[in-house]
Structure 1
Amino acid sequence: MTGARQELLARWRAEESEQPEGWDFSALDGRMWADPPPWDLDAIWGEALGAAQHVLDMGTGGGEHLLRFRALLPADVVATEGWPPNVPVARKALEPHGIQVTDFGAPDHDPDSAPMPFPEGRFDLVLNRHEAYSPREVARVLAPGGVLLTQQVGSGELPELHALLGAEPEEPTVTYDGFVADAKAAGLRVVDGEEFTGAYRFVDVAALVAYLQRVPWQAPEDFSVDGYADALLELHERSAGGEIALTQRRFWLRARRPA
């Protein structure tokens, strides 16, 4: 292996780390961008919060996104988080604002198998950003007339990278049409929503490796720089050491429990 390649691998190894606590991508500022979807999620959430009294934020991470709306939050807000290292982070961030954090997460492969730890009709607004959920359980904990707002990462993201790394194609389990159908089957009325395909853009392979440390489910379970060195070097050569564009998929929907 040439000295130049050894230097590249050493630089990429320096990006390897444990998944950071919370849901903070600030370390990638200036190194990665994502095409914005055509909807404004913050505006949608802000409008809904202005009319809500009892709110659940599912998959709050470290509470960072929810706290962006703290001026709009009602007195009764509850958050859930299912990744154990994030639970104390979220509690430290949210409990000073009177927001209870419950240790709960539905398994991605079978969200219906985990009942939510809340009584029927507990919330008039459920917020969910990139978190697995059971439409049946959400319908149960929503009050009559209550609203679910969710944005999801669609199946089929980063297919170019997965093909290069030799990963098995992802089953299309997270799709807009599928989530709409599941919401309707749970008795919810879907009133708005949209899907979007765009791109992630990374300044180089090092930025991509840093991103995959924060979202390890987007890479093979055994991913490491050394284990996939040949594929990463090929990607570096294909991009001439410059920008890498990979497919991004998003969708959102608004569903209401009938009054």
Structure 2
Amino acid sequence: MNSNQVDYRSFYDRVGLLNGWDFGKIKVVSEGEQWDFYEEVTRRCKKSDVLLDIGTGGGERLLSIADRALLLVGIDQANGMIRTANANLLKTGKPNIRFLQMDAENLEFPEGFFNIVSCRHCAFHAEEVAKVLVQGGIFLTQQVCEGDKRNIAEMFGRGQFSGSRDDQLIHTYRSELNEAGFSDIRSFEYDATEYYQTYEDLVFLLKYTPIVPGFGQSENDFAVLEKFIEQNQTDQGIRTNSKRFMLIATK
């Protein structure tokens, strides 16, 4: 795991039991997004493929693409997430999806078992991904850039990437993929503007994500948040940014 990644295992367990990491109810408008990650995954996926999704959370996005592959396996290190994912699976009755609690550091699958591996907003280990991919298999990952939610981090004086260069993660991951034997490593990046529609939407985001570590544990956090909203309120909503990068690599 990269030194700038924090271990949020207990945090994600709690969130998984609450909502499965599905933030679909948050009212937010985004301008400047250049791709939808799981659309990029399915564009490269054949119906005969076996797909692994690392950091699957509550499984909502994997369930939404169930008809695009022969078998889809979602893993997450947090027990709460997998419990939510399996509950969601029961509701849909999809026969070709499995959800398993597993750490990305040790992928307990046969070598060359998967045709495609995806990983969205979760740490991965390039050697483990290479081990379970077939030769010629494709790995796609979307990660949060260090410059994400920069005006929030500046206002609070702390953030999940405090002290990191804005391009450190992408270079680290590219290097790790190259060392693991991946070729044709392509990178993409965008910095979109986001407008959260209400105070409650922003509170939910900060409370159930690690954007501002420990948000809400101090009474002063809510005073800081009110000041942030005053300074960033627009006709479209409360303004911040969403900065993402995507890597696509072939084994």
**Aligned mate of 2:89, from 94, 98, 108:** 94
Q: 1:85 and 1:116, CA in 2 relative to 1: closer, same or farther beyond 3 A?
A: same
Unaligned runs of 5+ in 2: 1-13
How far off its partner does 1:191 sit?
4.2
Q: 1:237 and 1:21, CA in 2 relative to 1: closer, same or farther beyond 3 A?
A: closer
Mapped pair 1:151 → 2:142: yes
How far off its partner does 1:27 sit?
2.1
Q: 1:227 and 1:190, CA in 2 relative to 1: closer, same or farther beyond 3 A?
A: farther
Structure number with bigger Rg: 1
How far off its partner does 1:209 sit?
0.7
How far off its partner does 1:187 sit?
0.8
**Aligned mate of 1:232, from 213, 217, 225:** 225
Residue identity in the other structure for 1:233 = E
Query: Normalising by the residue count of structure 1, what TM-score does the alignment of the two structures yield?
Result: 0.78
Q: % of aligned pairs identical? A: 25
Q: 1:236 and 1:41, CA in 2 relative to 1: closer, same or farther beyond 3 A?
A: closer
SS of structure 1 residue aligned to 2:44: helix
Give the equivalent residue in structure 2 for 1:183: 177
Give the equivalent residue in structure 2 for 1:3: none
Q: 1:105 and 1:154, CA in 2 relative to 1: closer, same or farther beyond 3 A?
A: farther
Q: 1:174 and 1:88, CA in 2 relative to 1: closer, same or farther beyond 3 A?
A: farther
Query: Normalising by the residue count of structure 2, what TM-score does the alignment of the two structures yield?
Result: 0.81
- C-alpha contact 1:180 1:190 (8 A) present in aligned 2: no
The alignment's C-alpha RMSD in Å is 2.4
Mapped pair 1:166 → 2:157: yes
> Please, which moves more after superposition, 198-207 or 168-177?
168-177
- C-alpha contact 1:122 1:141 (8 A) present in aligned 2: yes
CA distance in 2, matches of 1:239, 1:43: 31
Residue identity in the other structure for 1:121 = G
Q: 1:181 and 1:233, CA in 2 relative to 1: closer, same or farther beyond 3 A?
A: same
- C-alpha contact 1:34 1:201 (8 A) present in aligned 2: yes
**Aligned mate of 2:61, from 61, 65, 79:** 65
CA distance in 1, matches of 2:107, 2:168: 20
- C-alpha contact 1:205 1:241 (8 A) present in aligned 2: no
**Aligned mate of 1:49, from 27, 45, 48:** 45
Number of residue-to-residue matches in the alignment = 229
SS of structure 2 residue aligned to 1:218: coil
1:45-96 CA-to-partner distances (Å, cap 9, x unmatched) read 222222652211111111110111122121x322101222111111233364
